[in-house]
Chains A and B, each alone.
Chain A
Amino acid sequence: MTEVQESEVQQSGAPSRRSLIGWGGAGLALGAVAAGGAVAMTRVGEDVDPAGADTGAAVAFHGANQAGIATPVQDRLHFAAFDVKTDDRAEFVQMLKDWTAAARRMTGGHAVGDGAYGGLAEAPPDDTGEALGLKPSRLTLTIGFGPSFFEKFGLEDSRPEALVDLPQFPGDNFDKSRTGGDLCVQACADDPQVAVHAIRNLARIGFGKVAIRWSQLGFGKTSSTTPGAQTPRNLMGFKDGTRNIAGTETDRLKKYVWVDEGDVGKNSAWMTGGSYLVARRIRMNIETWDRTSLQEQEDVFGRDKGEGAPVGKAKEHDAPFLKAMKPDAHVRLAHPDSNAGVTILRRGYSFTDGTDGLGRLDAGLFFLAYQRDVRKGFIPLQRRLSATDALNEYIQHVGSAVFAVPPGVRDKDDWWGSTLFSKDAKES
Chain B
Amino acid sequence: MRAVRLPVVTAVAAAAALTAVTACTAKSDAKDGDAIQVTAADSKCTTSTKSIPAGQVTLKIENTGSKATEVEILFPDDRIVSEKENIGPGTKYTLTAEVKAGSYEIACRPGMKGHGVRQKLTVTGGSVAKRDPKLDAAVAAYREYAQNEADATIPKVETFVNAIKAGDLTAAKNAYAPSRVGWETTEPIAESFGDIDPKTDTRVNDLEKGQKWTGWHALEKALWVDKKVGTEQKALADELLTDLKDWQKRVGKAEITPTSMANGAKELLDEVATGKVTGEEDRYSHTDLSDFKANVDGAEKAYELLKPVAQKNDAALTTELDKQFAAIDTLLDKYRSTSTSDGFVSYDKVTKDQRKELSDAVNALAEPLSKLAAAVVK
- Per-residue CB contact flags for chain B residues 1-37 toward chain A (1 = under 8 Å, else 0) read 0000000001001100100000000000000000000
Which of A122, A123, A204, A211 lies at the interface centre, i.e. has the most chain B CB atoms within 10 A of its CB? Answer: A122
By a CB distance below 8 angstroms, the chain B residues around A207 are 363-364, 366-367
Tell me whether A120 and B363 are in contact (CB under 8 A): no
Q: How far is the CB of B127 from chain A (nearest CB, A)?
A: 20
The yes or no answer to B315 lying at the interface (CB within 8 A) is no
Is A211 touching B363 in the complex (CB atoms < 8 A)? yes
How many residues on A have C-beta within 8 angstroms of the other chain's C-beta atoms? Answer: 11
Q: Are A122 and B363 in contact (CB under 8 A)?
A: no
- Nearest A-chain residue to B360, judged by Cβ: A211
- Which of B360, B364, B366, B373 is the one whose CB lies under 8 Å from A123? B373
With a CB–CB cut-off of 8 A, which chain A residues contact B352? 177
Q: Is the interface of B mostly helix, strand, loop or mixed?
A: helix
Which residues does chain A contribute within 8 Å of B221, judged by CB atoms? none
CB within 8 Å of B: which A191-239 residues: 204, 207-208, 211
- Contact, CB under 8 Å: A208 / B368: yes
Known: A121-B13, A122-B14. A204 touches B367 (CB 8 A): yes
> When the two chains form their complex, are residues A208 and B324 in contact, meaning their CB atoms are under 8 A apart?
yes
Q: Which of A85, A121, A123 contacts B371 (CB 8 A)?
A: A123
**Residue in chain A with minimal CB distance to B323:** A208
Is A36 an interface residue, CB under 8 A from the partner?
A: no
What A residues does B13 contact at CB under 8 A?
121-122
List the B side residues contacting A121 at CB < 8 Å. Answer: 13, 17
Nearest CB in chain B: distance from A178 CB, A: 13
The docked-state distance in angstroms from the alpha carbon of A123 to that of B371 is 6
Mark interface residues in A103-144 (1 if CB within 8 Å of B CB, else 0): 000000000000000001111100000000000000000000
Determine the distance from Cα of A122 to Cα of B352 in the docked complex, in whole angstroms: 35
Interface of A is mostly: loop
A281 nearest CB across to chain B (Å): 18
Nearest chain A residue, comparing its CB with the CB of B373:
A122
Tell whether B374 is near chain A: CB-to-CB under 8 Å: yes
* 1/0 contact string of B355-378 vs chain A (CB within 8 Å): 010001001111110110110110
Chain A residues whose C-beta falls within 8 Å of the C-beta of B373 in the assembled complex: 122-123
Closest residue on chain A to residue B377 by CB atoms? A122
Docked pose: A211 CA to B262 CA in angstroms:
25
Distance, CA A124 to CA B368, complexed state (A): 10
The CA-CA distance from A121 to B371 in the complex, in Å, is 11
Complex: A222 Cα to B166 Cα, angstroms: 68
Closest residue to B363 on the A side, CB-wise? Answer: A207
A85 contacts B377, C-beta separation under 8 Å: no
- Interface pair B374/A123, CB less than 8 Å apart: yes
Contacts of A177 in B (CB 8 A): 352
Interface residues of A in 285-306 (CB under 8 A from B): none
Contact indicator B363/A124 (Cβ below 8 Å): no
- Contact yes or no, B370 A124, CB < 8 A: yes
Establish whether residues B259 and A208, one from each chain, have CB atoms under 8 Å apart when the complex forms.
no
Query: Top 3 closest A-B pairs, CB basis?
Result: A123-B374, A208-B364, A211-B360
Can you list 16 A-B contacts (CB < 8 A)?
Answer: A85-B364, A120-B377, A121-B17, A122-B10, A122-B13, A122-B14, A122-B259, A122-B376, A123-B374, A124-B370, A124-B371, A177-B352, A204-B367, A207-B366, A208-B324, A211-B360
Apart from A122-B10, A122-B259, A204-B367, 11 more pairs, CB < 8 Å: A85-B360, A122-B17, A122-B262, A122-B263, A123-B373, A124-B370, A207-B364, A208-B320, A208-B324, A208-B365, A211-B360
